[in-house]
Amino acid sequence: MEKIIWDESFSVGIQEIDEQHKELVRMINKLIGREDISVDSETISDILNEMTQYAGYHFQTEEQYMIEYDYPDYLSHKKQHTEFKKKTVAFCLDTMSYKETIPKEILTYLKTWLVHHILKVDMKYKSFFKEKGLR
Ligand code: FEO
């Protein structure tokens, strides 16, 4: 699977958020890099767990800004974050039963979700926060 390549089209115009997104991309790329490598289920679970925790931290940052600036789509955005968190926690539990490689459907889900979420969902707040003076 091709790794995610970060470019300026991913930028939401807020440095702190961009850095967090880059870290999430780095984590997913790390999983993609191990796609064909035989690793034990504990290692897979550890990487996934680390990514899930970082995603939770990132979502919290975004949601705090949304509350602070009264972002109109806060609830629907938060709902997407919650769904992703539920899904990745389930993946973490599932991986304990895998013995060899990271299942493709997990990688596909993580990659597709993150790219779509940043480019289509997060991007909706770009002009809103810009108008509020957030950089
Ligand atoms: Fe960057 Fe809405 O997560």
Rounded to two decimals, the pTM is 0.91
Query: Maximum Cα–Cα distance for the chain, whole Å?
Result: 50
Nearest protein CA to atom 2 of ligand 1, as residue: 122
Q: Per-residue pLDDT averaged across 58-73, rounded?
A: 98
Q: What tokens does 97 get? A: 């039963």
Report yes or no on 2 lying in a domain: no
- With contact defined as beta carbons under 8 Å apart, do 67 and 129 qualify? no
Task: Count up the domains in the chain and report the number.
Answer: 1
Ligand 1 mean position, distance from CA 107 (Å): 18
Report the C-alpha gap between 32 and 101 in whole angstroms. 11
Range of the domain at 24: 8-131
Report yes or no on 101 lying in a domain: yes
**Per-residue confidence (pLDDT) for residue 46, from 0 to 100:** 81
Q: Chain-wide mean pLDDT for the chain?
A: 90
Report yes or no on 3 lying in a domain: no
CATH number of the domain to which 102 belongs: 1.20.120.50
**Per-residue confidence (pLDDT) for residue 93, from 0 to 100:** 78
- pLDDT tens digits along 86-130: 998 888 777 776 656 677 888 899 999 999 999 999 999 999 999
Does residue 79 surpass a pLDDT of 70? yes
Report the C-alpha gap between 89 and 66 in whole angstroms. 24
Ligand 1 pocket check for 91: Cβ under 6 Å: no
Report yes or no on 21 lying in a domain: yes
Report the C-alpha gap between 34 and 46 in whole angstroms. 13
Report yes or no on 1 lying in a domain: no
Ligand 1 pocket check for 25: Cβ under 6 Å: no
